[in-house]
Amino acid sequence: MNSASEAQYREQPAKRLRNAAIRRTGSSAFMTLLGKECLELLRSFKLVWVPIVFVVLGIMQPLLSYFMPVLIEKAGNMPEGTVIEMPPPVGSQVLADTLSQFGLMGLLILALAFMGIVSGERNSGASALVLVKPVSHTSYLLSKWVSMMILTWGSLLLGYAAAWYYTWLLIDFVDVGPFMLSYVLFGLWFTFVLTATLLFSTFLRSAAGAAFSSLGVAVLLSMLAGLMPKYMGWSPGALSGLAYQAVTSEVLLPLNSVSWWSIATAVIGIAVLLMGSVVLLKRAPAHD
């Protein structure tokens, strides 16, 4: 036992050096993996078409709100002189509508775009070639997650900013503070749902299964939070509602303690989903 511990003692410096070397390789390996993910986003044109779709969605909402009275007038075949009583659109409400549009179409598109991000490589065996190299499972997944987040937060910002600009031109000006706060809250909601997509993509073979499981979780959580705000107000599902409130309310930061809870549970949930993905990937880095 004495000699064993002595041997262990002698082994220490060498091991420390080696561990330092592994850590160094670790961070450069992460950057290499992230570079590859971004290259793939670019080559598959996701980096181009997803932001454009978000901008189009963002522009459409204010235009629709602005033209709605005209459209109804045209479609209604009203006799000459009929006066239509419609409340004039409010800028902040238009932005909230835009967010809810992003929450449906936008989230669906992103979940579908990322559904095969891990399962595709696991099914083909490409992940096996990466994970037999001295690369940690955490860097592998984190590189994918970061690339997802770059596209998600970027597209959301571009689309939402386009909506804000059009709303300003057509309807009225919305303060930057509420705009940014609602952007961050909504981005957090997207992050939560798409991290769930990553998790499902890690353990389901079917890409479609991953997309619809995570969207199912999203629908369930927001429905629960909407139906029972008292009991589920602390869940991440309340985030989208919170974002609408943030942009429509007069004063900045309408965050009460329950709201802070839903932010906290979302952040914790994202961390747990990521760790869960790592554990699942470690158990089976590649399908046969």
Partner 1 sequence: MTELLQVKGLTKSFGSVHAVKSIDFSIQEGRCVALLGPNGAGKTTTIRMLTGLLAPTSGEVRFHSLARGEDHRSLIGYLPQTPAFHNGMSGMEYVVYSGRLCGLSASDARKRAMELLERVGLASAAKRRVGGYSGGMKQRLGLAQALVHHPKLLVMDEPVSALDPLGRREVLRLLQELKSETTVLFSTHVLHDAEELCDDVVIIRDGEVALQGSLAAIRNEHRRPVIELKLEDAPHAINWAQSFLQKSRTDELRYSWLSEAELQGNRLYMTASHMDVARQGLMEELTEHKVPFSRLEVGYSSLEDLFMKVVSG
Partner 2 sequence: MKETMELSQWMGLIVPLVLLQLLLMIIALVLCVKAEETRGPKWMWALIIILGQLLGPIAFFLFGRRNQ
For the window 28-47, what string marks contact with partner 1 as x by the rule CB under 8 A? xx--xx--x--xx--xx---
| CA dist 258 → 3, 189, 233, 244 (Å) | 59, 16, 6, 16
Q: Which conformational region is residue 253 in: left (phi greater than 0), alpha (psi within -120 to 50 degrees), or beta?
A: left
Instruction: Answer for the pair 150, 144: CB distance below 8 angstroms, yes or no.
Output: no
10 binds, among partner 2, partner 1, none (CB under 5 to 8 A by kind): none
CB atoms near residue 250 (< 10 Å): 8
Q: What six digits make up the tokens of 53?
A: 């779709």
Region 41-60 residues binding partner 2, contact defined as CB under 8 A: 43-46, 48-49, 52-53, 55-56, 59-60
Using rule CB under 8 A, residue 230 touches partner 2? no
Q: What six digits make up the tokens of 11?
A: 């082994």
| CA dist 88 → 10, 52, 187 (Å) | 79, 29, 29
- How near is the Cβ of 43 to partner 2 at its closest, in Å? 7
Using rule CB under 8 A, residue 38 touches partner 2? no
Q: Is 166 or 234 the residue whose CB approaches partner 2 more closely?
A: 166
70 binds, among partner 2, partner 1, none (CB under 5 to 8 A by kind): partner 2
Q: Is 36 or 69 the residue whose CB approaches partner 1 more closely?
A: 36
Using rule CB under 8 A, residue 170 touches partner 2? yes
- How near is the Cβ of 200 to partner 1 at its closest, in Å? 21
Q: What is the distance between the alpha carbons of residues 280 and 52, in angstroms, rounded to a whole number?
A: 34
CB within 8 A of 284, min separation 6: which ones? 122
Supply the DSSP symbol for 87.
Answer: P
Could you say which of 71, 129, 253, 264 contacts partner 1 (CB under 8 A)?
129
Using rule CB under 8 A, residue 130 touches partner 1? yes
Q: What is the distance between the alpha carbons of residues 245 and 250, in angstroms, rounded to a whole number?
A: 9
Which residues form the interface with partner 1 (CB under 8 A)? 11, 15, 18, 21-22, 24-25, 28-29, 32-33, 36, 39-40, 43-44, 121, 124-126, 128-135, 283-286, 288
Which residues form the interface with partner 2 (CB under 8 A)? 40, 43-46, 48-49, 52-53, 55-56, 59-60, 63, 70, 109, 112-113, 166, 169-170
